[in-house]
């Protein structure tokens, strides 16, 4: 067995040379899951609270707490907006979930989402210089059902402590009501990353994929597999970006969406799906096999694969077909299999394959930009501005079939997104304060560098301890043994 390096720079090198692409793909998933389990246990999670103010002598406790802090309380009492500059509120996000749809694992109980929510907070700090707190909540009502109103009430109650709220992993149909209600009811941005975040980065990827393929968004035929929070929002943003609704077909677990779907029409909780029934698929195509024939684009966010999307579907698509299979942790079809079936451009949600279309490229910069201008909400126009920002950044660096998106190690993309989102917030009239594009960009870069320097200092001084390489070796052995 080849020993994995601590940087995890080449996961394929872990596996024997005679392993097939499929074996390596399956093995990487197992390796990453096993390593995640042991590494999370080693660190007891991924985040902690560290003060950012100094203690220079005993009496500083009287400044940071009583009696000095009384002046802070009364100042904020008289002007609530002062809380954004007199506390950490202006750079603090609540990552809130009831854990009812965690990645591809479904309902994981309220505490089961903590790993993902801590991960979100971790990425916000490292990629965007944003502080965040993971809050997993119990949304059960007295009848034992998950209740959207419980989530709505909770978020309304905690908003005075935060500059923005990131909703995550809330199952449908509750996710629709929760987001739409809170966006209007709260005076800080409430952002649903599975919906708006995934929508934003998917639109960015599609913009560049179409450029590489030489196709016009207004003329292509698009099939969307999955009609949950992610794909319904992606569809809405793609239509706003110029796609033709007559050339779009949505597919859920019961077939294609169209105006004869009485099961959707009769359930008012699924109003977002019914809107798409009315907008798309005017020919009332009934099944995905027919919908995908000669299609230009297939965007799947349905359920983990690898055999959810069939090779035959891709073979029947038009020339230079574009296939996004973005379910996590395993895409609906592996990229190599999609390529074998004739796909020209393939993207997934994972960073160990080319063309990662993952909301981690969007939310750190989007939330940072919204926070810096103290936005009251994140509009669809702000999400689209972020999509074009990501796409333009990648295009300037050079795009081709194996690179339609930036990668997470390109720090400047997050600052660029923050700047473009902040400018759009000001344009939309939802910003409390005005900043120049340059000011937002420079502030974001500074905060990202400070966050990373802090982490490097903690690692250098062994306050963040280096994991034993045996953890990596044990995970690698399990992965190899599982797919032999």
**CA atoms of 339 and 33, how far apart (whole Å):** 26
For residues 370-392, give the mean pLDDT: 97
Q: Which two tokens mark 274?
A: 């019914």
Per residue in 295-305, pLDDT (tens digit) is 999 999 999 98
Sign of CA dihedral 104, 110, 112, 117: positive
**What's residue 450's pLDDT?**
97
Rounded to the nearest 5°, which phi and psi values hold at 444?
A: -65, -45
For residues 407-420, give the mean pLDDT: 96
DSSP 268: G
* Banded pLDDT at 9 (limits 50, 70, 90): confident
**Which class would CATH give 77-188?**
alpha beta
- Residue 2 pLDDT exceeds 90: no
Taking CA 443 as the corner, what is the angle to CA 439 and CA 444, rounded to the nearest 5 degrees?
Answer: 120
Question: Residue 479: which residues within 8 A CB-CB, separation 6 or more?
Answer: 14, 15, 27, 28, 30, 31, 34
Peptide bond into 6 cis (omega under 30): no
For residues 340-353, give the mean pLDDT: 95
Per residue in 107-144, pLDDT (tens digit) is 999 999 999 999 999 999 999 999 999 999 999 999 99
pTM: 0.94
Per residue in 424-456, pLDDT (tens digit) is 999 999 999 999 999 999 999 999 999 999 999
- Residue 95 pLDDT exceeds 80: yes
Per residue in 465-479, pLDDT (tens digit) is 999 999 999 999 999
**CA atoms of 440 and 220, how far apart (whole Å):** 36
Q: Tell me which H or E stretch contains 76.
A: helix 70-78
Per residue in 165-181, pLDDT (tens digit) is 999 999 989 999 999 99
CATH 3.40.50.10380 domain span(s) along the chain: 77-188
For residues 226-235, give the mean pLDDT: 92
**CA atoms of 479 and 34, how far apart (whole Å):** 8
CATH number of 195-435: 3.40.50.720
**CA atoms of 419 and 442, how far apart (whole Å):** 9
* Banded pLDDT at 391 (limits 50, 70, 90): very high
- Residue 462 pLDDT exceeds 90: yes
Question: Residue 72: which residues within 8 A CB-CB, separation 6 or more?
Answer: 86, 87
**CA atoms of 278 and 451, how far apart (whole Å):** 46
More confident residue, 239 or 3: 239
For residues 37-65, give the mean pLDDT: 96
Q: Determine which of 102-106, 282-286, 317-321, 354-358 has the lowest per-residue pLDDT on average.
A: 102-106
CATH 3.40.50.720 domain span(s) along the chain: 195-435
- Residue 30 pLDDT exceeds 70: yes
What does the mean pLDDT of the chain come to?
Answer: 95
For residues 60-80, give the mean pLDDT: 97
Share of the chain above pLDDT 90, in %: 94
Positions annotated as catalytic residues are 65, 120
**CA atoms of 484 and 478, how far apart (whole Å):** 10
* Banded pLDDT at 1 (limits 50, 70, 90): low
- Residue 384 pLDDT exceeds 90: yes
**What's residue 229's pLDDT?**
87
Helices 380-397, 198-213: axis angle to 10 degrees equals: 40
The DSSP bridge pattern shows strands 190-192 and 222-225 to be unpaired
């Amino acid at each position: 067995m080849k020993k994995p390096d601590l940087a995890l720079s080449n996961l394929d090198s872990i596996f024997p040379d005679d392993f097939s692409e499929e074996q390596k793909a399956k093995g990487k998933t197992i390796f990453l899951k096993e390593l995640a389990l042991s590494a999370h246990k080693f660190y007891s999670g991924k985040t902690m609270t560290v003060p950012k103010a100094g203690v220079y002598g005993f009496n500083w406790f009287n400044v940071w707490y009583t009696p000095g802090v009384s002046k802070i309380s009364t100042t904020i009492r008289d002007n609530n907006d002062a809380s954004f500059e007199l506390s950490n509120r202006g750079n603090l996000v609540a990552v809130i979930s009831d854990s009812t749809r965690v990645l591809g694992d479904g309902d994981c109980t309220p505490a089961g989402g903590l790993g993902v929510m801590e991960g979100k907070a971790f990425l916000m700090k490292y990629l965007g210089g944003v502080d965040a707190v993971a809050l997993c909540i119990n949304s059960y009502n007295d009848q034992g059902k998950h209740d959207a109103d419980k989530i709505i009430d909770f978020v309304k109650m905690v908003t005075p402590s935060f500059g923005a709220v990131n909703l995550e992993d809330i199952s449908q149909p509750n996710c629709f009501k929760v987001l739409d209600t809170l966006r209007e009811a709260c005076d800080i941005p409430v952002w649903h990353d599975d919906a708006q975040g995934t929508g934003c980065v998917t639109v960015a990827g599609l913009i560049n994929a179409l450029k590489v393929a030489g196709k016009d968004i207004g003329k292509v035929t698009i099939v969307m597999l999955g009609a949950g929070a992610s794909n319904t929002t992606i569809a809405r943003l793609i239509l706003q970006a110029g796609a033709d609704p007559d050339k779009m077909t949505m597919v859920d677990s019961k077939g294609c969406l169209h105006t004869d779907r009485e099961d959707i029409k009769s359930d008012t909780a699924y109003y977002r799906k019914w809107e798409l029934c009315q907008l798309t698929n005017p020919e009332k195509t009934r099944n995905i096999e027919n919908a995908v024939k000669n299609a230009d684009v297939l965007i799947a966010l349905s359920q983990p694969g690898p055999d959810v999307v069939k090779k035959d579907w891709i073979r029947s698509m038009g020339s230079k077909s574009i296939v996004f299979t973005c379910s996590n942790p395993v895409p609906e079809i592996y990229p190599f299999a999609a390529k074998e079936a004739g796909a020209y451009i393939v993207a997934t949600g994972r960073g160990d394959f080319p063309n990662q279309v993952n909301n981690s490229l969007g939310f750190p910069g989007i939330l940072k930009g919204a926070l810096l201008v103290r936005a009251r909400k994140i509009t669809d126009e702000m999400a689209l501005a972020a999509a074009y920002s990501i796409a333009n950044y990648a295009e300037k660096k050079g795009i081709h079939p194996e690179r339609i998106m930036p990668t997470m190690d390109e720090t400047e993309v997050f600052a660029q997104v923050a700047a473009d989102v902040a400018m759009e917030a000001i344009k939309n009239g939802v910003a409390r304060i005005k900043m120049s594009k340059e000011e937002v960009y420079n502030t974001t870069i500074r905060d990202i560098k400070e966050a990373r320097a802090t982490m490097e200092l903690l690692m250098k001084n062994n306050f963040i301890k280096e994991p034993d390489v045996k953890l990596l070796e044990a995970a690698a052995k399990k992965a190899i043994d599982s797919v032999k």
